[in-house]
């Protein structure tokens, strides 16, 4: 199991403010994430005037308006995204942003070597083709999708020249109910699709993300914010900085705990083998020539003598010398 790629999803939690966006980049770096990810879009290209807000967006923002009106307050300019990419290189964290329209694909193509496709674009044929034709690697979220839809998207990406593809299992709700997560579907995709898999986590807390890491996720994505009380559609379903740092620590510990899969004593265990295992010993004084029986033998620590697994070999044999009580016996 290689190093899990941890994506700190800043998304639109900058609320359209470049200073906040830079703080998010620095926070992701300090918390140990590999990548900090944003969202790039033109509100007019992303949503029509008829597009309604999702229920979680209405609830989180405490009002209802058109998607376009909401999105206009969450935009960064192309110059600001270039500055963010430069800042990421400066402090040593990978920059990534998800494009939500064709123009944004063209803009981001020079800023990143990998694409992150959101769940909502998995059925967007022209979008998938344009992404694939860049030849770059792809991380594809699969929220709201059937396995057939995942297959169809993979076919479009592969047939149009995409690089390596990783599939992220996802439950598209903010926050996602734990009982709807269905982490085993991640393993189903791995077996069926032959791709690397991971998990984009929208649940509260960090437990499910850590569980996904233990199950073999190669990519973990999680929304984070500077403060869950900020105004905006995604803050309430995001981790705060201390929680993001704890998630990263927990995932890295999980990586170390997974090991190489070989069953053998660890280095720290070896010193305890003789201490905690047992040997075959005399249950009482045994005289030379006496037959070893279940009555005059027992097993006790330490494990420096004959292994109790040889019990049947010694029962019925004759003692070749005297043995004191609690003395390891041999034949």
Token pair for residue 104? 């944004």
Neighbours of 16 (CB within 10 A): 16
User: In this structure, are 33 and 107 located in the same domain?
Assistant: yes
Q: How far apart are the C-alpha atoms of 217 and 142, rounded to whole Å?
A: 14
Residue 330: inside a domain: no
**CATH number for position 177:** 3.20.20.70
Residue 9: inside a domain: yes
How many structural domains are present in the chain?
A: 2
Q: Residues 125-146, buried b or exposed e (16+ Cβ, 10 A)?
A: eebbebbbebebebbbbbbebe
User: In this structure, are 280 and 253 located in the same domain?
Assistant: no
User: In this structure, are 228 and 80 located in the same domain?
Assistant: yes
Q: Are 23 and 238 in contact (CB under 8 A)?
A: no
Residue 321: inside a domain: no
User: In this structure, are 98 and 134 located in the same domain?
Assistant: yes
User: In this structure, are 288 and 246 located in the same domain?
Assistant: no
Q: Are 65 and 238 in contact (CB under 8 A)?
A: no
User: In this structure, are 278 and 224 located in the same domain?
Assistant: no
pLDDT band at 165 (very low <50, low <70, confident <90, very high): very high
Residue 105: inside a domain: yes
Please tell me the predicted confidence (pLDDT) of residue 62: 67
| pLDDT tens, position by position, 220-249 | 999 999 999 998 888 989 999 999 999 999
Residue 331: inside a domain: no
Residue 87: inside a domain: yes
Residue 320: inside a domain: no
User: In this structure, are 96 and 21 located in the same domain?
Assistant: yes
| pLDDT tens, position by position, 66-114 | 777 778 889 999 999 999 999 999 999 999 999 999 999 999 999 999 9
Full residue range of the structural domain in which residue 272 is found: 267-314
User: In this structure, are 197 and 225 located in the same domain?
Assistant: yes
Please tell me the predicted confidence (pLDDT) of residue 65: 76
- Residue ending a domain, among 212, 237, 258, is 258
User: In this structure, are 280 and 232 located in the same domain?
Assistant: no
pTM (two decimals): 0.89
Residue 174: inside a domain: yes
User: In this structure, are 141 and 286 located in the same domain?
Assistant: no
Q: How far apart are the C-alpha atoms of 88 and 25, rounded to whole Å?
A: 7
Please tell me the predicted confidence (pLDDT) of residue 1: 44
Partners of residue 6 on adjacent β-strands: 220
User: In this structure, are 282 and 136 located in the same domain?
Assistant: no
């Amino acid at each position: 199991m290689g190093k899990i790629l941890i994506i700190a999803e800043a998304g639109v939690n900058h609320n359209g403010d470049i200073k906040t966006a830079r703080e998010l980049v620095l926070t992701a770096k300090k918390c140990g994430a590999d990548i900090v990810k944003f969202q790039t879009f033109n509100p007019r290209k992303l949503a029509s005037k008829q597009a309604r807000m999702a229920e979680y967006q209405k609830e989180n923002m405490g009002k209802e308006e058109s998607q376009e009106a909401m999105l206009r307050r969450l935009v960064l300019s192309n110059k600001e995204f270039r500055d963010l990419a430069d800042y990421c290189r400066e402090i040593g964290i990978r920059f990534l942003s998800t494009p939500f329209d064709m123009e944004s694909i063209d803009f981001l193509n020079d800023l990143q070597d990998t694409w992150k496709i959101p769940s909502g674009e998995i059925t967007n044929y022209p979008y998938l083709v344009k992404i694939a034709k860049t030849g770059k690697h792809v991380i594809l979220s699969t929220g709201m999708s059937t396995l057939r839809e995942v297959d169809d998207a993979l076919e479009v990406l592969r047939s149009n020249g995409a690089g390596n593809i990783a599939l992220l299992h996802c439950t598209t709700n903010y926050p996602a109910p734990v009982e709807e997560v269905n982490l085993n579907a991640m393993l189903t995709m791995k077996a069926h699709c032959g791709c690397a898999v991971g998990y984009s986590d929208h649940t509260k807390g960090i437990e499910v993300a850590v569980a996904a890491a233990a199950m073999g996720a190669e990519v973990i994505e999680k929304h984070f914010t500077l403060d869950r009380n900020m105004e905006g559609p995604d803050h309430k379903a995001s981790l705060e900085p201390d929680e993001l740092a704890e998630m990263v620590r927990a995932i890295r510990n999980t990586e170390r705990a997974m090991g190489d899969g070989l069953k053998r004593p660890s280095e720290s265990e070896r010193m305890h083998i003789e201490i905690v295992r047992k040997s075959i010993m005399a249950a009482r004084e045994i005289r030379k020539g006496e037959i070893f029986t279940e009555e005059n033998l027992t097993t006790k620590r330490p494990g420096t003598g004959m292994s109790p697994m040889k019990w049947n070999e010694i029962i019925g044999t004759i003692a070749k010398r005297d043995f004191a009580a609690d003395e390891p016996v041999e034949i």
